[in-house]
Structure 1
């Protein structure tokens, strides 16, 4: 995050909860939202990372708090949402970003085994359900309230349990868009393609990066900022008539009807 955060930005007075907020996309989402004046509530299994990310936002002049919480823990998520809403006056935005996504979860289902597949779906799918239901009472009726889920280009390409879990997230986006519309809550999702986060830069073999880029229409690598910008659009008043949609940010890799 660059510079000092003003309290008069486009999101001044709003409250944004980001799961998986201690690192990666989640941390960047929190920084970007705080830069526009929102109070960022960062939730992560690693409470120390969540608090460190929140502290960095505060040091830059923004407003943020960090919480330790696993999205599969229904009671803990309910408690976090209640506490954050009580402290800040409600919740305006929920970003369901927490998820399992390493190579470990992109293996054949038979090789992964039932326990690992169950854990994958507990976090990626049920975690989205649990966090959404926990936040709903504090979002209902608030002008501009909305939810952004994080799916994946793997959802549109098939072939892995991880991709199937993210396809379920895209499906939940449609379901919750319908169910929460009477409460005035929009629900959308983002499907990132190959994005050169620090982890991907360091861990993904160069040959794999080149192979995936060759599947895209655009001859460029995606950057974390591309996903942040998509989030800022979908969660803003500029997207007031957009709900139930999954925005593919893939350079064309996952394009299709």
Structure 2
């Protein structure tokens, strides 16, 4: 028996990166998975791969900025597989050209990110919860970010939207816990998704690794297995929490990496 055997899971933003890894892991552990993504061809391709390897999955279109599209994804999941036990709200956007500091940020971009990154979590949960109540409970998992816990020179809207996700996670957990519905978040640090490796020069990836407590950067599977744990009954007494999966990047005094380098240079001289 798998760790989520026969549970029905909807993964938004599941065609690539963290969402894809999570969908594959959930399916390998026995879940029936609906992969919903704006890249519908990628979602269908991912589902076909899961089915070819003996799992059960479907790929569908999702525009996380549109309420009706989110409702349609929930309805498809329930109509196809009979219920929904796990909702993984994973969609998230950022735009480094428009999401700038507070003085210079594009205000339309602020609204777009709040709509997609935060409101989609609200809407997905809004339509999934009644079905979960009928099923006797469920697990809602939200992708937050370490940007929710620290300031940055840019990405003001992204960080604020993800901070809202962290607190919305608590509110959902508090409001529906008595219905046996758990709600938790996952806050990734830098994860070596194909997009990250494509868009970040090796020197930038090395900077992140330098400030990690661990001597490496994260992989999509590191988030996927955290999602699996939160989706499974192994986490049945955990709710309202956001698990930080970030290699200890934010763990230490920010000067410690440079201090260690200084001490090493003194020792070598």
TM-score computed with the length of structure 1 as normaliser = 0.91
CA contact (8 A) 1:173 1:189 kept: yes
Q: Deviations over 1:76-117 (max 9, x none)?
A: 221221232122111000000011035346522443311111
Q: Is 1:138 paired with 2:125? A: no
Structure 2 counterpart of 1:38, from 31, 39, 60: 31
Instruction: Identify which of 182, 186, 204 aligns with 1:186.
Output: 182
Whether 1:228 aligns to 2:228 is no
CA distance, structure 2, for counterparts of residue 105 and residue 147 of structure 1: 30
The Cα offsets for residues 132-156 of structure 1, whole Å up to 9 and x where unpaired, read as 1111111115355101100111111
Aligned-residue RMSD, C-alpha? 1.7
* Match status 1:210 vs 2:216: no
Q: Deviations over 1:44-91 (max 9, x none)?
A: 112222111111111111111111111221122212212321221110
Matched residue SS, 2:195: helix
Q: Distance in 1 between matches of 2:83 and 2:10?
A: 10
Query: Which residue of structure 1 aligns with residue 163 of structure 2?
Result: 167
Corresponding position of 1:94: 87
Supply the distance in 2 between the matched residues of 1:105 and 1:165 (Cα, whole angstroms): 15
Superposed, 1:5-20 pairs within 5 Å as 8-20=1-13
What residue is the counterpart of 2:215 in the other structure? 219
Aligned positions of 1:8-87 closer than 5 A: 8-87=1-80
Give the counterpart of 1:238 among 234, 237, 240.
234
Larger Rg: 2
Equivalent position to 2:251, from 244, 250, 255:
255
**Is the partner of 1:187 in helix, strand or coil?**
strand
Structure 1, unmatched stretches of 5+, are: 1-7
What are structure 2's unaligned runs of at least 5 residues? 253-269
What is the match of residue 121 of structure 1?
Answer: 114
Pairwise CA distance, 1:122? 0.6
**Would you say how many aligned residue pairs link Structure 1 and Structure 2?**
249
Instruction: Report if aligned partners of 1:20, 1:42 keep a CA contact under 8 Å in 2.
Output: yes
Q: TM-score scaled to structure 2, two decimals? A: 0.87
Contact 1:141–1:183 (Cα < 8 Å) also in 2? no
Tell me how far apart the structure 2 counterparts of residues 168 and 72 of structure 1 sit (CA, whole Å): 16
Instruction: Find out whether 1:157 has 2:157 as its counterpart.
Output: no
C-alpha distance in 2 between matches for 1:95 and 1:66:
15
Comparing 65-74 with 166-175, greater Cα deviation is found at 65-74
Is 2:22–2:224's contact at 8 Å kept on the other side of the alignment?
yes
> Distance in 1 between the 2:186 and 2:34 partners?
20
**2:143 aligned with 1:147, yes or no?**
no
